[in-house]
Amino acid sequence: MATQERPHPNVPSIDQSDRLVPINLRQSGPTPVQMLISTRVRKSPFWDLSIEAGCWRATVYNRMYHPRNYVRPEDGGAMAEYDALVNRVTLWNVAVERQIRVRGPEAEAFVNRVVTRDATKIAPMRGKYVILCNESGGILNDPVLLRLADDEFWFSASDSDLQLWLEGVNVGLGYDVDIAEIDVAPLQVQGPWSEDFMADLFGEAIHDLPYYGLMETELAGCPVVVSQTGFSGEKGYEVYVRDASLHAEAVWYALRGQGARYGLRVTAVAHHRRIAAGILSWGQDMDIETSPFQVNLAYQVPRKKEADYIGRAALEAQRAEIEAGRYPFRLKLVGLAMGGQPITDYAPDFWLIATPDGARVGYVTSPWWSPELGYNIALGYVPIAQTELGTKLLVELPEGYSEVSGQPVAAEVVEVPFRPSAHPSAREQARATEPDRAT
């Protein structure tokens, strides 16, 4: 008797043939084990302070402990943190954004060689959201790049070994620069009340600080750099604590002390809010094998940048293919409005996307419930034929989120961002005004 063929657990029907390492699509659900995290994972200067503030769950990011939840599920969980963010003001421990400094006589030329945008157009005491690509055009990192001086830049790194890449590249290029991680740890202050709160701490100059503007100042006698930046879509700031291993406690308690009158709440990074704003998360929505043209970051690939940069030839070839009507990738990132029960926690799997006839064709990267819209939203990859706005799809949600046990929920391709941000990020502004250009 012939045995029934067992379907492959990694769902090979989803075409990832243009990847060397396919995204793991095994639908294995939560991980019911206790994770051992030892001294190989670094504790940031704010880690014990996060525990004191109620952090009960964490992950690892940039080889550091990263707080993921403060409010317990029985007290409202992540959606209670969301309420504090969109209605008041929140404080985030984001020390995992390691600061990689490039400093020296040729710092500008080196940075301009490794980022796709034109670093020469970033004035001192300003910043910009940038990407770095490899020779194939894959996104290596998408940091905020801060320019502290003519000869000094900080990469506020996302979750990858950016320092090793920069050092390795310069072995061959030989620019006269020093590349090092420095003892600077950032905190984020995010929410509609953040500007008034920060003005109480740092004075009226906060009101004049432009988006991506920087300011050298002090808090509780400790040197800090303040920027108007954030990962939320709400008004927000980052406080980069210099000599953080010495000053973390003083700055943290100064922020929390003044924040009491604003109802400030210590929360995790707001992935629910950044999804609504269309802000991408490296390692989740994109990675080293993802092109910026697949994830709506075409504006990060300038047509007229004078200096050469790593990945330029590959990216220009990709753009030429797209403009000729030959999309060179199997899948593209889109926004999805989905049915199902409210998704109010992190997804443990890349949930599968199917066509109305049930053919599995893609996967969800970042899903969450939107209280304002009243339905689930998500970012996900689908073939180019399914990327048109209004395309009807299905998403295979796990038990607990599906409307009918074992049945996928309806989904539709929609505009990103999903709803206007109170303070549109540079990403949103660039998409709206210059969708295929950047400087």
- Could you state, in order of their start, the residue ranges of all structural domains in the chain? 184-263, 280-433
In 137-213, the DSSP E strands lie at: 139-141, 144-149, 152-156, 178-181, 184-190
Please give the DSSP secondary-structure letter assigned to residue 118.
-
CATH, range 184-263: 3.30.1360.120
SS3 assignment, position 201 = helix
Torsion sign across C-alpha atoms 9, 359, 361, 378: negative
218 is an annotated ligand-binding site residue: no
Q: What is the mean pLDDT of each run of 10 residues along the chain (439 residues)?
A: 60 92 90 87 97 97 96 97 97 98 98 98 98 98 98 96 97 97 98 97 97 97 97 95 98 97 97 95 97 97 96 98 96 98 96 97 98 97 98 96 94 94 58 46
Same topology, domains 184-263 and 280-433? Answer is yes
Total-model pTM: 0.94
Q: What is the pLDDT of residue 3?
A: 44
Q: What is the pLDDT of residue 430?
A: 53
* The domain over range 280-433 is classified in CATH as 3.30.450.20: no
Q: What is the pLDDT of residue 267?
A: 98
For 48, 57, 156, 239, 338, the CA distances from 95, given in Å and listed in that order, are 12, 16, 10, 10, 33
Evaluate the omega torsion of the peptide bond into residue 30 and state whether it is cis, within 30 degrees of 0. Answer: no
Cβ neighbours, 10 Å, residue 90 = 31
Please give the Cα distance from 125 to 275 (Å, whole number): 28
Q: What is the pLDDT of residue 8?
A: 77
Cβ neighbours, 10 Å, residue 390 = 7
Q: What is the pLDDT of residue 1?
A: 40
Q: What is the pLDDT of residue 5?
A: 57
